Chain A
Amino acid sequence: MSPSKPPRGGTRDGWAALLLLAIPVAAAVFLLRGDASGSGRGGDASATLSLVETLGGADTVGYARATEPRPFVFPADHGPHPDFRSEWWYFTGNLEGDDGARYGFQFTIFRGALGPPERASAGVAAVDGSEVASTADSSNDWDTRQVYLGHFAVTEARTGVFREFERYTRGSAGLAGAEVEPFRVWLDDWELVEMEGDPGAGDAVWPIRLTARDTAIGLELELVPRKPPVLQGDRGLSQKGSEPGNASYYYSYTRLGAEGTVIVEGEPRPVRGEAWLDREWSTSALSDGQVGWDWFALQLSDGRDVMVYQLRRADGSPDPLSKGVVVATDGSARTLPLDEFEVVPTGSWDSAIDGSTYPSGWTVRIPAEGIDLTVTPILDDQELDVSFRYWEGAVDVDGTSGGGDVTGRGYVELTGYAGADIGPRSGEG
């Protein structure tokens, strides 16, 4: 296994950083691929990214690193952190129509730097070697080292249709970018934007309107936090490897109210439901021996939210850096080390693309919290066939929490199961 995909969990952020590292390469691969854009089922496996290639030359020189806890300031931290190599705004959610139709959605905007931030911009040299244009003259609206990547996927439970879309755009000329005042993160006509009106819970950027559309599917949602942001790891510093700086800054909104419209084949359908936002930025690279991860974000009917991720090592064992968090109704959170939770697959699914086998269906247990849950995908095939392959899908939850019966909904992300023949670092032993 090898394809990479950004993990959002505390440990997943190693991968995540790598992913963004991978963007330049991905962009190149993207350009080199012959097939059409949009929902690209059936792209050839050889064209998908190999993290080994991607990360071979990972260079962190010139970038900021996440070495110690920092104060998070909102709304500023909702905006971009261009000194870090990579960053994302990662939304997932479960929605329901007036008619009871069930939808899942994923909407992610990744930012990646092609090179470390520059202090001086280069001019255009004349033949005689003198600088013709002054620094001011040579700056150009198109100049940028920032690349934005968007993933948008919608699962329709009733029809069993899963659609995914991928876009790359340069972070300049107004084509893609991230701004704080007013809050706006966009990539072409995909957009997260601060809405006029009452400030919601937390800080001033909310509510945020999410707009995404592509062939045959569109989504417009108004998002309002139901809980304050949760700082992951150690006060928002999420350590992913033993080396200092091999970490990310990471916060989440584990429960957002979502209301709006899903547009299917041009037909608007009113929907409401709940969503989850992960925000993370980092520079450093993947740890040795990690091949992928299984990540769970579950919203329970008793008001609690559970996030656990299990980082898989080449020998099949979970990495000790795997973590979790339980967020109470009031927003208070407790971090879970690996030994406090257990994730056991109960079934499997073979990829429609090449037969790669993914786990499908799990039991998730957190004994100390009295949590014992059965997690079931609402659709087997929620695999994204984009520059790097991964499975990101809506799930149903059923079980017990704190002694009572609960139901719930959530999202699961599985990486490192399909794609190129070897996983990151595994080939290097």
Chain B
Amino acid sequence: MNLVRAASRRWALRHPGQVVLSVLGVALGVAVVVAIDLAIQSSRAAFEVSTETVAGRATHRIEGGPSGLPDSVFTRVRTELGLRASAPVVEAWAASERWEGTALRLLGVDPFSERPFRPYLAGGGPGLDVDVLLNDPAAVVLPEALALDGGLEVGDSLALVVEGRSRVAVVAGTLTAADELARRGLADVIVADVATVQRFLDRPGRLTRIDLVLSEEPAAEAAVLAELDRIVPAGARVLTVGTRSDSLSGMLRAFDLNLTALSLLALVFGMFLIYNAMTFSVVQRRELLGSLRALGVTRGEVTRMIGMEALATGVVGTTLGLGFGVVLGRGLVRLVTQTINDLYFSVTVESLTLPPEVLAKGTLLGVGATLLAAWPAVREAVQAPPRMAQTRSLGEDRVRRLVPRAAVSGGGLVAGGVVLLTIPSRSLLLSFAGLFAVLLGAALLTPLATVVFVRAVLPLLGATVGILGTLAARGVTAALSRTAPAVAALVVAVSVTVGLGVMIQSFRGTVVEWLDHTLQADIYVSPPSPISSRAEGALDPGVVERLSAVPGIAGRSTYRGTELLTDDGLLRVVALDLDPRGEASFRFLDVEAADAFGAFRGAGAVLVSEPYAYRNGVEAGDRIELLTDRGPTPLEVAGVFKDYGSERGVVMMARTTWSQLYDDDRITSLGFFLADGVDTDEVEAAMRSAAGADQAVVVRSNRALREASLEVFDRTFAITAVLRALAFGVAFIGVLSALMALQLERGRELGVLRANGLTPRQVWTLVTTQTGVLGLVAGLLAVPTGLALAVIMIEVVNRRSFGWTLDMQVGGGLLLQAVGLAMAGALLAGLYPAWRMSRTSPALALREE
């Protein structure tokens, strides 16, 4: 054993570069997986903590429709049902210049009802001053940390923008969190009395919800639920507390899964790297291994030796990777959070959560992937016969025999992947399984493709570069055990780059086109919203009136959007008072616009967005049911329109229909059509001054809104771009190490050539031609593979994730870039070996080891 271990150690010491590269491969792969995982988990954890902190110990809640619940429901819960464990809540979004960029949650509570619910209000000390909270109509209580951060002390006044309305609150006290969890959950919460928040919102008599603690005993719970049924108004529902947060976090599922899949790609590249490095190290030591076997070392001991090396590489690499991952995660969490805030809901991630299971998963993946990738190397080592010498050509022969087999399994994988993808299911896991199968299949097909390609270009190379070209090309096929994995890794990396690039390009192109026809109005007005991608809150009726009276306006659409909790999660429901000029905004999938609008303007009909139709399997003419203030109401689908604004789907109804179904007359945003020849900038300015000081409104021209929308889009894909770059980086290092090893290994061969008169310059030509050929093969193979991936991502993954159809748009530049990237990588990898070979004296090279 000592002999074996010493042999291992000696080898590692003499090939530090190789060891470093293997370790780096594992480290980077693990780092990306862990970083993405951490970013996702941290944003999730922040969301959950803040949801739980605000929900407190409630088991159920009564939620109203778009207009909330009347106070009287709470009064009846208390005085008729005697449910003491009940608490009224008014929740609103707020912002303040003191905490730029932070969306604050304004929580209106009845302090006397809070004890069974939100223990953090019982934070100890004189935190919650009931007296002041009730006596001052603008009193608010802040968490200590928030007050400190905002430089606020008790008694200070605090300017807030509450769902667009400018309000001045008075800091009546601070809350001391009982523990770390409460502190994090409370990070962005401002507490005030119910009356205060209702006043801030200008919504007297309306509650957001009523929190309840019901008995866990089923019979008692059922009895209370039955009693509640009696007093809960139509349009309101009694839900278990998990329902809303489940549907909120459910929205993130597709997003999270997409990110995780991307991060796994990085690990796959890492595996290529390890496979390559380990196999190479074994091949280099065939003679040594043969000698060891001859000295009586058993196959088991050889297995253990290589296994231990792989394990050591895996452990060291994984450890480094975990460290990198945490650092990288800190950066990524900001991107993930930004996207969540743009698209889904507001969440503040204060710190990176380090759940042990993420680290454990990373370790398992890292070490496991290393061992898996090292397995072929172990097998190869064991097969080294106990002889003093073993020609490598024997090994290469075997590898060449493997080429058709690999191609067949590759073809099988691709076919299997395609079959998986065509299974009519909405499962994302299935989609990604299919995607990976196609990708790996393509990788397994590369050796064959390489052989075929080299055979094809051989005459060409011979003609252009001469004998050296032929020599270089032959070298590629002669060392297939080295070159094939390198080419495969490069193909995978570049094709993923191509695939993601095409997908993003198509997506963006589709969204641009959609924005162009959707944004028909000249000027849009909405209150500031914590979620960039959609308008929230309400415009003050007076503001609406004043804005509409601004001269130069030819027409107006009003928009009221709200999130409705349905059995399938949150649904966006929109009431639209559409100016006829705005009809061009809609592109219908299945009906004529005139027919759709005919039905839409009548009663009882809705328009639904494509994702909604996809998710719910409905089409024009079908009926859907919505819970309205009149109870469950059937509505006819008048048409399905294209929409990229909400992945969960949108149901739109005419304002007149809305007014019949919901007791809600609020307006979320306005679209103005200007008369011909009117200057947009002037009207915008007039509107800003007409809005007045009591409501902060965002007045945007068509162009500005379009730009803002694209900005959100680009931010959304920022993380994809980062991952794409990271994945490519890992693959690049892999290719670099593989090709470098390959060239270094050829030292003896080159030595012979040099001894036979090859000039250093010719060595350069030989080496760079060879790596150039490899790069070209990889680049050319990557283009079709990448396009296939793009098709899968667009037609399957995106559709299943979000229900969107995208028009595939392939830019030639992107493809050229891919081939160029592959070649550049490959050529770069040849530089060092070429430099070294050209400088080494032939005699020295011949001595080999």
Partner among A30, A32, A125, A147 whose Cβ is within 8 Å of the Cβ of B168: A125
CA A414 to CA B53, docked complex, whole Å? 41
- Nearest to B111 among chain A residues (CB) is A31
CA A426 to CA B168, docked complex, whole Å? 44
Could you say which of A163-171, A198-206, A244-252, A285-293 contacts chain B? A163-171
CA A123 to CA B129, docked complex, whole Å? 21
- Nearest to B74 among chain A residues (CB) is A173
Cβ of B138: which chain A residues have Cβ within 8 Å of it?
122, 124-125
Partner among A123, A128, A142 whose Cβ is within 8 Å of the Cβ of B195: A142
Residue pair A145, B134 in contact (C-beta under 8 Å): yes
A352 interfacial contact with B, CB 8 Å: no
Partner among A28, A124, A168, A186 whose Cβ is within 8 Å of the Cβ of B199: A124
Partner among B82, B110, B127, B193 whose Cβ is within 8 Å of the Cβ of A189: B82
- Nearest to B138 among chain A residues (CB) is A124
Cβ of A145: which chain B residues have Cβ within 8 Å of it?
134-135
CA A143 to CA B110, docked complex, whole Å? 11
Partner among B78, B111, B121, B135 whose Cβ is within 8 Å of the Cβ of A175: B78
Residue pair A188, B78 in contact (C-beta under 8 Å): yes
Cβ of A144: which chain B residues have Cβ within 8 Å of it?
134
Could you say which of B200-208, B660-668, B749-757 contacts chain A? B200-208
Could you say which of B112-120, B329-337, B347-355 contacts chain A? B112-120
Q: Mask for A123-147, Cβ within 8 A of B = 1, else 0?
A: 1111110101100011111111101
Residue pair B199, A138 in contact (C-beta under 8 Å): yes
Partner among B71, B79, B80, B84 whose Cβ is within 8 Å of the Cβ of A142: B71
Cβ of A31: which chain B residues have Cβ within 8 Å of it?
111-112, 114-115, 121-122, 128, 130
Tell me the minimal C-beta distance from A415 to chain B in angstroms: 24
Cβ of B134: which chain A residues have Cβ within 8 Å of it?
114, 144-145, 147, 170
Residue pair A213, B115 in contact (C-beta under 8 Å): no
Count how many chain B residues have C-beta atoms less than 8 Å from C-beta atoms of the other chain: 48
B124 interfacial contact with A, CB 8 Å: yes
A236 interfacial contact with B, CB 8 Å: no
Residue pair A27, B111 in contact (C-beta under 8 Å): yes
Residue pair B130, A27 in contact (C-beta under 8 Å): yes
Partner among A27, A140, A141 whose Cβ is within 8 Å of the Cβ of B112: A27
CA A127 to CA B204, docked complex, whole Å? 21
Cβ of A301: which chain B residues have Cβ within 8 Å of it?
none
Q: Mask for B129-146, Cβ within 8 A of A = 1, else 0?
A: 111001111100000000
Cβ of B136: which chain A residues have Cβ within 8 Å of it?
122
Residue pair B137, A28 in contact (C-beta under 8 Å): no
- Nearest to B160 among chain A residues (CB) is A127
CA A51 to CA B502, docked complex, whole Å? 74
CA A140 to CA B200, docked complex, whole Å? 11
Cβ of B202: which chain A residues have Cβ within 8 Å of it?
133, 137
Cβ of B82: which chain A residues have Cβ within 8 Å of it?
188-189, 213
CA A141 to CA B207, docked complex, whole Å? 12
Cβ of A138: which chain B residues have Cβ within 8 Å of it?
137, 199
Partner among B114, B116, B167 whose Cβ is within 8 Å of the Cβ of A124: B167
Q: Mask for B151-171, Cβ within 8 A of A = 1, else 0?
A: 000000001000000111000
Residue pair B124, A32 in contact (C-beta under 8 Å): yes
CA A265 to CA B14, docked complex, whole Å? 84
- Nearest to A32 among chain B residues (CB) is B122
Residue pair A168, B112 in contact (C-beta under 8 Å): yes
> Chain B interface secondary structure, helix, strand, loop or mixed?
mixed
Cβ of B205: which chain A residues have Cβ within 8 Å of it?
140-141
CA A139 to CA B110, docked complex, whole Å? 16
Cβ of B79: which chain A residues have Cβ within 8 Å of it?
174-175, 186, 188-189, 191
B72 interfacial contact with A, CB 8 Å: yes
Cβ of A141: which chain B residues have Cβ within 8 Å of it?
71, 195, 204-205
Cβ of B816: which chain A residues have Cβ within 8 Å of it?
none
Q: How large is the interface on A (under 10, 10 to 19, 20 to 34, 35 or more residues)?
A: 35 or more
B35 interfacial contact with A, CB 8 Å: no
Tell me the minimal C-beta distance from A105 to chain B in angstroms: 18
Tell me the minimal C-beta distance from A346 to chain B in angstroms: 40
Residue pair A174, B199 in contact (C-beta under 8 Å): no
A121 interfacial contact with B, CB 8 Å: yes
Residue pair A174, B694 in contact (C-beta under 8 Å): no
B198 interfacial contact with A, CB 8 Å: yes
Cβ of B112: which chain A residues have Cβ within 8 Å of it?
27, 31, 147, 168-170
B126 interfacial contact with A, CB 8 Å: yes
Q: Mask for A39-56, Cβ within 8 A of B = 1, else 0?
A: 000000000000000000
CA A136 to CA B405, docked complex, whole Å? 85
Q: Mask for A91-132, Cβ within 8 A of B = 1, else 0?
A: 000000000000000000000001100000111111110101
A81 interfacial contact with B, CB 8 Å: no
Residue from A122, A132, A145 with most neighbouring chain B CB atoms (10 Å): A132
Q: Which of B433-465 contact A (CB under 8 A)?
A: none
Cβ of A38: which chain B residues have Cβ within 8 Å of it?
84
Tell me the minimal C-beta distance from B675 to chain A in angstroms: 33
B1 interfacial contact with A, CB 8 Å: no
Residue pair B111, A127 in contact (C-beta under 8 Å): no
Partner among A37, A139, A142, A170 whose Cβ is within 8 Å of the Cβ of B115: A37
Cβ of B603: which chain A residues have Cβ within 8 Å of it?
none
Tell me the minimal C-beta distance from B114 to chain A in angstroms: 6
Tell me the minimal C-beta distance from A414 to chain B in angstroms: 28
A33 interfacial contact with B, CB 8 Å: yes
Residue pair A115, B131 in contact (C-beta under 8 Å): yes
A197 interfacial contact with B, CB 8 Å: no
B693 interfacial contact with A, CB 8 Å: yes
CA A147 to CA B71, docked complex, whole Å? 18
Cβ of A137: which chain B residues have Cβ within 8 Å of it?
202
CA A114 to CA B198, docked complex, whole Å? 21
Q: Mask for A157-191, Cβ within 8 A of B = 1, else 0?
A: 00000000001111011110000000000101101
A24 interfacial contact with B, CB 8 Å: yes
Cβ of B168: which chain A residues have Cβ within 8 Å of it?
124-127
A–B pairs, 11, beta carbons within 8 Å: A37-B85, A122-B137, A125-B167, A127-B168, A138-B137, A140-B195, A141-B205, A167-B84, A169-B112, A188-B82, A188-B84
Minimum-distance CB pairs A-B, first 10:
A189-B82, A142-B195, A174-B75, A140-B195, A24-B131, A188-B78, A127-B166, A125-B168, A27-B130, A142-B194
Given A28-B130, A36-B116, A214-B84, 11 more A-B residue pairs with CB atoms under 8 Å apart are A24-B130, A31-B114, A31-B128, A33-B122, A114-B130, A126-B168, A126-B693, A137-B202, A167-B84, A170-B110, A172-B195
